[in-house]
Each structure stands twice: as C-alpha cells, then as structure tokens.
Amino acid sequence: MRKLIREVVGTFVVLAIFAFFGYLFLQVTAEAADTIQVEIPIDTIHRGSDGELFPLAEIPVEVGSECTAKATSNNNESTHPGTNIVIITNAPETDAAIFDIESASFMVGSVSFVTDGPIVAVFLQLGPDGVSSTGILLEVTCHPPTTTTTAAPPPTTTTPPAPTTTTLVPPVTTTTEPPPINGIDTGGGACAGGACDSRNGLMLAGLLAMLVSGLVIAGWKATYSDE
C-alpha cells in the first residue's frame, strides 16, 4: 500500500513539474510572438470593380516588427483569379500581398514583411471580374523588434595643466674696487675689513721716528757749533 502511495505521489510531482514548465514555455512564446486571426466566412460575397479594396482588419503592432501572414482559402465551385490579400503598414504604400488566393478551390499562401508603422491593415482586393466568394482564414504573426541597449560612454575628465611658477634671478653685479693708495684703502678691495690697518700703523711710526731723529741731530749740531 505504501509503495502504491509513493508511486502515485511521484507521478503527481512529475506531472506538476511538466505542467509548470509547459506553462512557462507558453508564456514565453506568447510574449515573443503574437498571432492574430482574421476570418472571412465562406458564404461571404464581395462585389466591386477591378482592384477595389475591402478592409478586413487593423492589427496594432510595434514599428519594426517582423511579421508573417498566412492565408488559407476554401473556395466555392466558382473561382475568381486575381483576388489578392493586401497588407499595408504605412499608407499608401503596399508592404506585402498574397496574390491570386482564389484561383482554385483550395489554396494556401504566405508572405513575410517588416512593419514600418504602428498598424497592420489587411484588405481583400478584387480581381478583374470584380467578385470574391471564397472563405479565407488569415493568420498574422508578428515578432516585436529586438531592442539593443548601448551603454553610454564613460564621462571624460580633463585635468588642467598645473600652473608653472617662474622665479626671476636678479643679475649678478660685479664691482671692481680701486687698489689702495700708499697703503690706504679707498674703498674695499684688498684692504676691505681693516686688512691694511697694521701696515699703515707701521709706516706712521717710522715717519715719527725719522722726525724725532732729525730733531735730535739738529739740536746736537747746534750745540757743538756754539762752542
């Protein structure tokens, strides 16, 4: 009994897992592509002139979507060559068409296109006989455009140059002192700072000694001449 219960529980868990992932797959598929069905009943008859357009549906889409339109035609016994399915996403230009969809009792045609407007407008276009009596199932599947995000470049920082400091050096002046006259320094030069003071003192002492000697000799001569 316990074994049977374990088998039942295990089977239930496996089924639940598959159901969960199946749901995710369907969600992703639904988000990735939207399919819109447009149907013309088989007992519908359109009459008009050659090339006349009859609106069938307007489908909102994102600009730049990649779409595919598939038409399945189940015609009555009569055929009407030249009947087309016309698709316009940016009037008045025709973006795509499924041509000659009513030239046989059963026909399938498809066309791919990229939307350049926010609306996919679907029309039935009559052929040369001006009559359409077919039943058509049209399936339009559109994939939204792929968005690419481009990262902004990093801001550029400009560092100003460091200020330069210029130091002015004063010019060097050279002064030439005149030489000392008779041992006496007139300015600076070789006798600057009292370098010649001792020499000047000796010269003055010598002059005084000579003067005193001269006076002594003169006095001695005067004394002896009187005798």
Check whether 57 has a pLDDT greater than 90.
yes
Check whether 215 has a pLDDT greater than 70.
yes
Give the pLDDT confidence of 122-137 residue by residue, as tens digits: 999 999 999 999 899 9
Check whether 74 has a pLDDT greater than 70.
yes
CA R_g for the chain: 62
- Select from 47, 51, 73, 55 the least CA-distant residue to 131: 47
> Which is the CATH superfamily of the domain at 33-143?
Galactose-binding domain-like (2.60.120.260)
Residue 115 and residue 65 in contact, taking contact as beta carbons nearer than 8 Å: yes
Give the pLDDT confidence of 143-154 residue by residue, as tens digits: 998 877 677 777
| Tokens matching residue 111 | 């066309």
Backbone angles phi, psi at 221, to 5 degrees: -65, -40
- State the average pLDDT for the chain: 76
- Would you kindly state where each structural domain of the chain is located, as residue ranges? 33-143, 182-219
Residue 132 and residue 46 in contact, taking contact as beta carbons nearer than 8 Å: yes
H or E segment and range at residue 15: helix 2-32
Check whether 97 has a pLDDT greater than 90.
yes
